[in-house]
Structure 1
Amino acid sequence: MFALIQKAVRALLNSKLKIFITIVSAAVFLLLLFPMNDLGDLVSSQVARLTGNKVFLQFEELKMSVFPAPGVKVEQVFVEAQGVAGVSAQEIKFTPSVGGLIAQKPYGSVNAKGLFKGDVYVSVSSGSRTENGVERQKIEVKAQKLSLQDLREVARLPVMMKGKLDLESSALVDLTFTEQPDMDVNLSISQFELPPSNVTTPMGPLTMPDLKLSAVEIKGRLAGGKLIIENGQIGKDGDELRGSITGNMDLSLMNAGGTINPVLGGYTFNVNLRTKRNFQDRAALFLSFIDAYKTATPDGAEYKFKVSAASTMVPPSIGAAR
């Protein structure tokens, strides 16, 4: 028996050059000669089939890479989902984790260029379990210079807006959403513009004046089904509106047959705003709701107030800030 093992090892050592050439040839075939682009129609049809014809994926070119890490890259990507406007990207690169493949877990990273006219990086890895022993995944997201206008069109928000969004977020998520995720969020918007618009509120239609802000920065976290804004800065010195906001809102993510839906509840926010006279003139109706909490300043006014409600479906109450 031992002699047979010795012969087998000796045969492998004598044939190592042949084995190396075979591996290299297979890699060259897969990377350079295999008609990867012919898989486009197959991939698109499989995505549509697996999602019940709810998601449609199209792309022009598909490539495989080995260095610096194994991955798949697709170019000129267009994704359309039922009930959601189409989304395009110049390039998306998928880099799976070897450990994740072995454990059959969705670990790895996605790097998208040209998504919402910006760049997005997402990584998924193993995270700590909850106190009840539920498995969670660690999801990190970094986004740069995303177009607010494009995001607004996809989300179908009723308010027109423009600007560039940067985002950094780290979350521990149970992908079945039997337990609520824990998430930290740092968000900043530059060159924010809000044209005149009418917004439907629980108190009726509200006319919003045009507004331009040099920056908006929000630092917050999601924990225990509650969104907490620890520090929110609106505008900067020189803007016609600037101020701060802190507070919290009940926010749960519910799994409804594979679709994740946010459920909004009660909220309480403390707001401090400073306005210049030209903005006060344009926003007279809007500011009339908080006129009781106004203090005159040399160049305009300062408003300090608290807004709260038991639900987003009822009119909020406004009172003096503590």
Structure 2
Amino acid sequence: MEQLRQLLKLIRESKGKIAVMVVSAFVFLFLLFPFDDLSDLISSQVSRLTNNSVYLQFERLKMSVFPQPGVQMDQVYIESLRTPALSAQELVITPSISGLIAQKPYGHVSAKGLLKGDVDLVVGKGAKSDNGIERQKIEIKAQKVALHDVRELANLPVLLKGQINLETTALADLTFQEQPDVEMDLTVNQFELPPSTVNTFMGPLTLPDLKLASVELKGRLAAGRFVIETGTIGKPGDEIYGTVKGNIGINIVNRGGSFSPQFGAYSFDIDLKIKPSFQARASTFIGLLDAYKTPATDGAQFKLRVSATNPALPPSINKMR
């Protein structure tokens, strides 16, 4: 007991020295420590932990304490065997203290210059599913992301251009034992489809160029089905302007740690006004839809329902009243 009192007395008498020592340690750790020299070490550790499937490189590394502990990397370059190379001007990772304690991937990631835009990702604890499976709440906000770069990342067969603004919130089990619940609000500004050719069940199909002021889509994914609540294609004055609603089956499948979407039955109600200029350029396939056309001022209106029980099968097309 006497030794404990002596220790407490020593701490009280030396609190000034202890404070200086703590401040000095922080100054050295966060201001003077040569974090940039850790670049090669971190790159090698990332490669080792991913079995040489991911390569990470950056120019500068900085640590921060306030308002939360975090790491900032500048001029980041990531190369993976499964995806095209990605780069960002700045990457800030702020882990959640509660997440670190619980060993969960909670925190905030901010990337500037990713896919030529800015992306924010927040992961936190979410409500459990009805079956008691633990889920994470994932929020993603993206601004001015290049659609062309997203198209290359997703390896889509059609050339696309434009700027994406996205807000989405998801409740998901990261092992995908159950399908996630996702709410999405997507806008593509200055949408552009350059002339291209795609393979369809009818054979190669040549698509003419198309420019739209915007494409807006709001929907929800639940129980393996994505429902388009509101969809607007173009704006008044564009060569194509109208709406689309419907749903499509989407299941996220876990294939040994690799996740991929599996598409199922779909049904879409499409209502479009198409100007004569685009009808002339797209006469090859627009002519196939003459049965669903109604003459309108400055063009024609097409109202149809497209559906199929499997994306690999030819769709059923019916006139929508």
Residue of structure 1 in register with 2:264 after alignment: 265
2:89 and 2:169 mapped to 1: Cα distance? 25
2:297 and 2:180 mapped to 1: Cα distance? 46
Residue of structure 1 in register with 2:10 after alignment: 11
Residue of structure 1 in register with 2:168 after alignment: 169
Deviations 1:7-28 (A, max 9, x none): 3333222222122111111111
| Aligned-residue offset at 1:148 | 0.8
2:151 and 2:118 mapped to 1: Cα distance? 17
Residue of structure 2 in register with 1:130 after alignment: 129
Contact 1:290/1:318 (8 A) holds in 2: no
Deviations 1:69-95 (A, max 9, x none): 210011111111113211111010000
Question: Which sections of structure 2, spanning at least 5 residues, go unmatched?
Answer: none
Residue of structure 1 in register with 2:311 after alignment: 312
Question: Between the two proteins, what is the percent identity of the paired residues?
Answer: 55
Partner letter of residue 208 of structure 1? Answer: L
RMSD (CA atoms) = 1.1
| 1:56-205 correspondence to structure 2 within 5 Å | 56-205=55-204
| 1:31-70 correspondence to structure 2 within 5 Å | 31-70=30-69
| Aligned-residue offset at 1:48 | 1.1
SS of 2:306's equivalent in the other structure is: strand
| Aligned-residue offset at 1:228 | 0.9
SS of 2:84's equivalent in the other structure is: strand
Deviations 1:279-304 (A, max 9, x none): 11111112122211110012000000
1:120 and 1:289 mapped to 2: Cα distance? 41
Partner letter of residue 128 of structure 1? Answer: A
Residue of structure 2 in register with 1:217 after alignment: 216
| Aligned-residue offset at 1:213 | 0.2
Residue of structure 2 in register with 1:283 after alignment: 282
| Aligned-residue offset at 1:67 | 2.2
2:82 and 2:290 mapped to 1: Cα distance? 41
1:13 and 1:227 mapped to 2: Cα distance? 63
1:188 and 1:15 mapped to 2: Cα distance? 61
SS of 1:85's equivalent in the other structure is: coil
- More divergent stretch after superposition (8-17 vs 102-111): 8-17
2:288 and 2:182 mapped to 1: Cα distance? 33
Contact 1:233/1:245 (8 A) holds in 2: yes
Residue of structure 1 in register with 2:227 after alignment: 228
Partner letter of residue 98 of structure 1? Answer: I
Question: Which sections of structure 1, spanning at least 5 residues, go unmatched?
Answer: none
2:133 and 2:158 mapped to 1: Cα distance? 39
| Aligned-residue offset at 1:116 | 0.7
TM-score under structure 2 length normalisation: 0.97
1:221 and 1:12 mapped to 2: Cα distance? 59
1:14 and 1:226 mapped to 2: Cα distance? 67
| Aligned-residue offset at 1:256 | 1.0
- More divergent stretch after superposition (213-222 vs 57-66): 57-66
TM-score under structure 1 length normalisation: 0.97
2:288 and 2:247 mapped to 1: Cα distance? 21
SS of 2:184's equivalent in the other structure is: strand
- More divergent stretch after superposition (145-154 vs 5-14): 5-14
| Aligned-residue offset at 1:124 | 0.4
| Aligned-residue offset at 1:4 | 4.2
| Aligned-residue offset at 1:158 | 1.2
